[in-house]
A and B are shown apart, each in its own frame.
Chain A
């Protein structure tokens, strides 16, 4: 089943009346702006009423017990069910399909090894031995949001005697389909190399492609933690965005941002990638290939020691010759 991003209905329709971010089941307040969630059964008494809550088991009066943090019957020990605090572990909602086959990934590795430049050993492509090719679904949050970013910074633009001048500003910024990695299997460096290759408009409910032995990564954060994580990612992105587009000048320091986020919609998704391991002369190297675009490859490869030594010696000789000529 394929969804387009616009008709995803993962949240049960409740939207914060103040910042228009969707509320999730169990939310008492909006996680972004703190507005109380609407209450469904707001039955207020019209007259003064006195009640004693009784245990359904033995009829004794029930008391709230700090040890269990719930109302308990002191006689039969039965706990009264109250609305519990919901903070579930994050779960993948959507999968992006593999569009690169394992064969293509293997070919890509050969090609990549062959194009590593002059410093690589000449026999790298021929004698590198592929040990493992692992399809992996790595996890990430994808969000859309509107943000009002207030910023201040020092930059070189308009500088007087000091090399810095202060600037300030406020910009409306839209974030569309921004990926924030939650992966433990891929490093941030690897993620940033392959993140551009995904088609985020096609989301599926089940993992497709990748074969039987694909690894499905899980989120290891609770919802409240995840929200903090995404919020701090938004702040970082906001700082990057204003440096690129809003702050005059080319060199910056003391970049401060304050963000008012609205309409924050977050999806938890799993994205495809191939993780490959190869051996060259008893050393192991790792390569990651984007599962939807085989041109995005990142990894490590060996250097040819003789070539490096040769260049260093050549450089020293050239410098020596230069000084000899100069004197």
Chain B
């Protein structure tokens, strides 16, 4: 059903509810809307552009609202000992369950590397020492030494399933905290799979996301290389990664997003729940008072110990 609306992609759009005829204003970054009058779920399909490709895949919600809220409560209550008390007692407010746009990236990585490889060997060494009777004696012992050899080579591998955020509302670090998603249950995108749910359009530029994916991939290759080195140890590992045959697809990921308001003078904390696995991620605000008290107690203990030791040695 084509509408007579302006096709601008950055302005909020007015759409007509196909069920009750009400006029709705829809953010330019949203792909779906719920009519406030008749609760009908509308899905907006825009022509794809380079900045806004059509989603290729989707991971469906498995965790429902109640379950997600319970997990977040538990997570907040169980946060570490330096967390602010008012944060631990705060009630999470659901902002929304949303299909978050992300890019699924893959590439072939060719890497040149050079490193010094340490190969251990043992040697018998003679040394002189004084024995129990105060005489100087010569003894032998076995010592382990390392021989350093330089090694260069090439490493090639596929890097698949790198996921980076395409939404300005969620940083890549925040998304990393609730990964992994089980991509075996990836589905081909279809409008019916987001019916009744909010779905966002990508708001970061593909160029920016590509760079993020690139960096994450290079980091992955680096950790692969460190496991690839032979020998007993290595040092000076240098490498240059070249990524070729890159593929990138837009995927919608299920995310429950909560805001926790724990103090009037602080901005709320964003907590995300993986809508497929239930994994919770977010930054816990640290209580300055608790940290200070802990440091002071630590200092007092060390001071007391020193005093005791000083007393004992007199």
Contacts and interface: CB of A to CB of B under 8 A. Distances in A.
Interface string A146-173: 0010101110000111111111111000
A32 B158 contact: yes
A304 B7 CA distance: 91
A82 to B, nearest CB: 6
B5 A64 contact: no
Nearest to B121: A162
A251 interface: no
A39 interface: yes
Nearest to B149: A166
A152 B44 contact: no
A4 B278 CA distance: 50
B211 interface: no
B195 A63 contact: yes
Given A48-B44, A51-B1, A64-B61, A85 B187 contact: yes
Interface stretch (B52-60, B130-138, B287-295): B52-60
A281 interface: no
A63 B268 CA distance: 31
Nearest to A152: B230
Residue of A46, A53, A148, A153 ringed by the most chain B CB atoms within 10 A: A53
Contact of B157 (A44, A150, A167): A150
B153 interface: yes
A50 interface: yes
Interface in B101-158: 104, 106, 108, 117, 119-121, 145-147, 149, 151-158
A187 interface: no
Contact of A64 (B19, B46, B54, B195): B195
Given A53-B191, A64-B194, A83-B190, A170 B40 contact: no
A3 interface: no
Given A33-B158, A61-B40, A69-B60, A47 B184 contact: no
A39 B188 contact: yes
A160 B192 contact: no
A167 B161 CA distance: 31
Nearest to B186: A28
A152 B151 contact: yes
Nearest to B248: A36
Interface residues on A, range: 35 or more
Nearest to B192: A71
Contacts of B46: 45, 48
A164 B184 contact: no
Interface stretch (A127-135, A212-220, A253-261): A253-261
B199 to A, nearest CB: 10
A49 B185 contact: no
Interface in A87-140: 87
A86 B145 CA distance: 56
Contacts of B224: 258
Nearest to B196: A63
Given A50-B3, A154-B231, 20 more contacts: A18-B247, A28-B186, A34-B158, A36-B249, A45-B45, A48-B7, A48-B47, A49-B3, A51-B18, A51-B42, A53-B41, A62-B192, A66-B275, A69-B62, A71-B193, A83-B187, A150-B153, A162-B119, A169-B153, A170-B154
Interface of B: 1-3, 5, 7, 13, 15-16, 18-19, 39-48, 54, 56-57, 60-64, 104, 106, 108, 117, 119-121, 145-147, 149, 151-158, 160-161, 184-188, 190-197, 224, 227-231, 245, 247, 249, 275
10 contacts: A34-B160, A44-B47, A47-B2, A62-B196, A83-B190, A85-B187, A152-B151, A159-B119, A224-B184, A256-B229
Per CB-CB distance, the 3 closest pairs between chain A and chain B, nearest first, are: A63-B196, A168-B153, A34-B160
